[in-house]
Amino acid sequence: MQRIVFLDRATVAPQITLRRPAFEHELICHDQTRPEQVAERLAGATIAITNKVSLRADVLQGLPDLKLVAVAATGTDCVDKACCHQHGIAVSNIRGYAVNTVPEHTFALILALRRNIVGFREDVIAGAWQEAGQFCFFNHPIHDLAGARLGIIGEGVLGQRVAELGRAFGMQPLFAAHKGRDGQGTLYTPWEEVLASSDVISLHSPLTPATRGMIAMPEFHAMRRRPLLVNTARGGLVDEVALVQALNEGLISGAGFDVTDGEPPATDNPLMAVASRPNVILTPHVAWASDEAQQRLADQLIDNIEHFVAGRPSNLVEGAY
């Protein structure tokens, strides 16, 4: 009998149905799991489910019964995949479930910031409309999307969908070549050109050692058009201290972030200090979390587990098995 342990069930909304796998099993769900609880809770487990709980080598090496880590997300940076490979533990992830929800959230941030929705809303609440004495007022700049250049960093399914939506708004999408690389083909615009010429830059890259901190002060100084920076991918892609400095110096016009480097962010996280500014929107890593997308995720999660047990694994992560 398979023993399945879900370490952080509360990372999927309670209204989402997690169906029971169609084989003999024991399923144990924990809402949250602290690092010091992982080894004890996975003792004897054959299948571990995690969304964001870290599974590192020191824990994995002590779990001889573990055969599958089913990640309830696309990103697998929470799992030591090299250790899994060494010990014959498969790792699966979720793919394609967020093709609508993340791009839509991305454009919600873009639209709100380009049109200064937050600033105008706060002004209305504060009575500025009455003080204006006319039918409208102009406390904040408003910019159309049509004709704007949309720099996209990350050319996967989410980046491609963001480009589609951008074209529908009349924007000109540009896929950035990978930082420090040339000759990647006609899909790509040179990294430096994307930074220099974009009106909006949207991040859709995985977090890896190569991409961590790829947007820092040198990149902000290269952004000649003072673009809006949007990040619905991973917080670690951007140096957050540099981001605040770029906002303070007017190197970018605003920031729409759904992620931080460390979640939830500490109270002294640099982004928390600027979160109340009208040109900053910080949402709590919910771009992926429409009910429709979460249900697709939950269904695919169980599909991956059932396929693995049946001997025809799906969505295995390269380098982990």
CA 196 centroid distance within chain: 24
Q: Is 36 a catalytic residue?
A: no
Q: Which two tokens stand for residue 310?
A: 């049946």
Q: Is 307 a catalytic residue?
A: no
Catalytic residue among 263, 292, 307, 318: 263
Catalytic residue among 105, 204, 285, 296: 285
Distances in Å between the Cα of 71 and the Cα atoms of 31, 52, 74, 91, 296 are 15, 8, 7, 7, 14
Contact 74, 170 (CB under 8 A): no
31: phi then psi, degrees, rounded to nearest 5: -60, -45
Contact 93, 317 (CB under 8 A): yes
Catalytic residue among 204, 234, 240, 296: 234
27: phi then psi, degrees, rounded to nearest 5: -115, 120
User: Considering only CA atoms, which of 251, 225, 236 is closest in space to residue 203?
Assistant: 236
Q: Is 285 a catalytic residue?
A: yes
Would you name the residues annotated as active-site residues?
A: 234, 263, 285
